[in-house]
Amino acid sequence: MISTLLVANRGEIACRIFRTCGELGIRTVAVYSDADANALHTRVADAAVRLPGAAPADTYLDAGLIVKAAVAAGADAVHPGYGFLSENADFARAVLDAGLVWVGPPPEAIEAMASKTRAKELMGLASLGEVTEADLPVLVKAAAGGGGRGMRIVRRMDELDAALESARAEAASAFGDGEVFVEPYIENGRHVEVQILADTHGTVRALGTRDCSLQRRHQKVIEESPAPGLSERLTAELHTLAVRAARAVDYVGAGTVEFLVAGDKAHFLEMNTRLQVEHPVTEAVFGIDLVAEQLRVAEGHALADEAPHARGHAVEARLYAEDPAHDWAPQTGTLHRFAVPEGVRLDTGFTDGDEIGVHYDPMLAKLVAHAPTRAAAIRKLAGALERATLHGPPTNRDLLVRSLRHEEFAAARMDTGFYDRHLTDLTEPAPDPYAPLAAALADAHGRSRFGGWRNVPSQPQVKRYARAGEETEVRYRYTRAGGLEADGVRVLHADAGRVVLEVDGVRRNFEVARYGDEIHVNTTRLTALPRFPDPTTQHAPGSLLAPMPGTVVRVAEGLAVGAAVRAGEPLLWLEAMKMEHKVTAPGTGTLTALHAAPGQQVTVGALLAVVQEA
- Tell me the HSE value of 119 on the side-chain side, using a 13 A CA sphere: 27
Nearest Cα to Cα of residue 436 among 368, 479, 489, 365:
489
Q: What is the pLDDT of residue 571?
A: 92
For the domain 190-426, what is the CATH code?
3.30.470.20
Task: Check whether 578 has a pLDDT greater than 70.
Answer: no
CB 212, CB 172: distance < 8 Å: no
Query: 583-604: per-residue pLDDT in tens?
Result: 899 889 999 999 988 988 888 7
> Mind spelling out the 3-state secondary structure of 170-228?
HHHHHHCCCCEEEEECCCCCEEEEEEEEECCCCCEEEEEEEEEEEEECCEEEEEEECCC
Give pLDDT, residue 260. 92
What does the mean pLDDT of the chain come to?
91
d(CA 178, CA 150): 9
Sheet holding 506-515, edge to edge: 484-485, 470-478, 461-467, 524-529, 518-521, 506-515, 498-503, 490-494
When the candidates are 3.90.960.10, 3.40.50.20, 3.40.50.620, 1.10.645.10, the CATH number that belongs to 4-103 is 3.40.50.20
Give pLDDT tens digits for 316-331: 999 999 999 988 989 9
**CATH T-level topology, domain 537-613:** OB fold (Dihydrolipoamide Acetyltransferase, E2P) (2.40.50)
Residue 130: pLDDT band with limits 50, 70, 90: confident
Sorted by sequence, the CB contacts under 8 Å of residue 533 that are 6+ apart come out as none
Q: What pLDDT is stored for residue 523 in this prediction?
A: 95
In this structure, the strands spanning 579-584 and 570-576 are antiparallel
CB of 80 within 8 A of CB of 274?
Answer: yes
Is the distance from CB of 260 to CB of 417 less than 8 angstroms? Answer: no
- What integer pLDDT is reported at residue 482 of this predicted model? 67
Whether the per-residue pLDDT at 512 is higher than 50: the answer is yes
Report which of 311, 327, 362 is spatially closest to residue 568, judged by C-alpha positions.
327
In which band, very low, low, confident or very high, does the pLDDT at 304 lie, cut at 50, 70 and 90? very high
- pLDDT greater at residue 173 or residue 76: 76
Question: DSSP per residue over 593-612, as a string?
Answer: EE---TT-EE-TT-EEEEEE
Query: Could you tell me which residues are beta bridge partners of residue 361?
Result: none
* pLDDT for 453: 47
**Highest-confidence range of 142-156, 182-196, 285-299, 534-548, by mean pLDDT?**
285-299
Residue 121 predicted with pLDDT over 90:
no
For the chain, domain boundaries? 4-103, 124-184, 190-426, 435-529, 537-613
Q: Which of 223, 255, 558 is nearest to 414 (CA)?
A: 223
Distance from C-alpha of 525 to C-alpha of 518, rounded to nearest angstrom? 7
CB 119 within 8 A of CB 269: no
User: Which residues are the active-site residues?
Assistant: 274
pLDDT in tens, 202-235: 999 999 999 999 999 889 999 999 999 999 999 9
> Given pLDDT bands bounded at 50, 70 and 90, which one contains residue 434?
very high
150, 76, 127, 78: which is closest to 107 by C-alpha? 78
Between 5-14, 34-43, 458-467, the lowest mean confidence (pLDDT) is in: 458-467
pLDDT digits (tens, 9 = 90+) for 449-482: 444 445 555 578 899 999 887 889 999 888 777 6
Q: How does pLDDT run across 62-89, given as a tens digit for each residue?
A: 999 999 999 999 999 999 999 999 999 9
- Give residue 614's pLDDT band: very low, low, confident or very high (50, 70, 90): confident
Distance CA 274, CA 79 (A): 10
Q: What is the pLDDT of residues 526-553, one digit of tens each?
A: 999 986 655 545 677 888 888 777 889 8
Phi (first) and psi of residue 542, to 5 degrees: 85, 5
Give the model confidence (pLDDT) of 496-506 as tens digits. 999 999 999 99
Contact (Cβ atoms closer than 8 angstroms) between residue 315 and residue 401: no
pLDDT of residue 126: 65
Query: Band of the pLDDT at 9, cuts 50, 70, 90?
Result: very high
Q: What CATH number should be reported for the domain whose range is 435-529?
A: 3.30.700.40
Mean pLDDT of 114-119: 79
Residue 168, pLDDT > 60, answer yes
For 356-379, the pLDDT digits (tens) are 998 898 999 999 999 999 999 999
How far apart, in Å, do the first and last CA atoms of the chain sit? 71
Tell me the percentage of the chain whose pLDDT exceeds 70.
Answer: 94
Angle at which helices 397-404 and 374-387 pack, to 10 degrees? 150
**Homologous superfamily (CATH) for 124-184:** ATP-grasp fold, A domain (3.30.1490.20)
Confidence of residue 447 (pLDDT cuts 50, 70, 90): low
pLDDT-derived band at 446, boundaries 50, 70, 90? low
